[in-house]
Structure 1
Amino acid sequence: VVTGIGFIGAGTIIIQRQFVRGLTTAAGIWVASGIGLAIGGGMYGVGIVATFFTLLGLELLTVLFKRIGLHSSFVQFSTGQQENLQKITNMIVHSEGRITNYSARKEFQGDRQVYCVSMVIKTRDNDKEGDIFTFIQNLPDLMIEKIE
């Protein structure tokens, strides 16, 4: 049982660019298997108490992390104006956000110079994140390729 659950739990963990997803799901699978083993072994009290504490912990941690945790967003865009890069950086700092990963490359499309930028932005407040994206979308000569 333990080996099988280990493989299933590991299969739920996904790494996408700079984000790791599925850790809570993997932990939940482990807890569910432990509770199932306890109930199957006749330890009903232990299984019920473990279920109660697991649900309580997951709900409390969800509320707590939404309040104090940082929300990560991936943005990929291109612009022909280098000033836009400084404007975006200033807006993120002004909105109390952080850039945790940044890559930019200069390309030439014909005789025009274009900056292709990818960045991961962390913010505490979803409203500020929305303000940042609205600001980016309203800049001239900027094309957003992806927001996650």
Structure 2
Amino acid sequence: MEKNNDTVDISFKISNRTEISARKMMGSTNNEMQYMLVPGFLMAGILPWIMPWLQMAVMGLGMVTNMAFTSALFSLVRSYVFEKEPDEHVVYVNHGVLSSSDICIVYKWYVVALISYILYMEERERERERERERER
């Protein structure tokens, strides 16, 4: 340290280059740390308001699915207990692998099956109406 006419000269003796770079990195880490904490603080501030809403939404969806399952189960039991016959008449048609020339034939069979199903349902409805008239 030298003193010349109201000025001071200061000279530093640097012994090791890695020591300086380590100090620079340590200083930059301290600057970055404050920005790395911001998302954590935001989440800590926001989550107490968001989590109850999410929990209520999940519980509401659970209640809706339970109600749907229960109503389906009760309707199944009711139809099993109180229905004398099932309402459906299932027509199974299996033609195997089709070529392009067979599609027309299959379509005709499908139309015949559909018409027979419609006639069957109309006949059942007439029988039910006859039974209702007999009960009166």
What's the TM-score, normalizing by structure 1? Answer: 0.28
The structure with the largest alpha-carbon Rg is 2
The structure in which a higher percent of residues are strand is 1
| Larger RCO, structures 1/2 (Cα 8 Å, 6+ apart) | 1
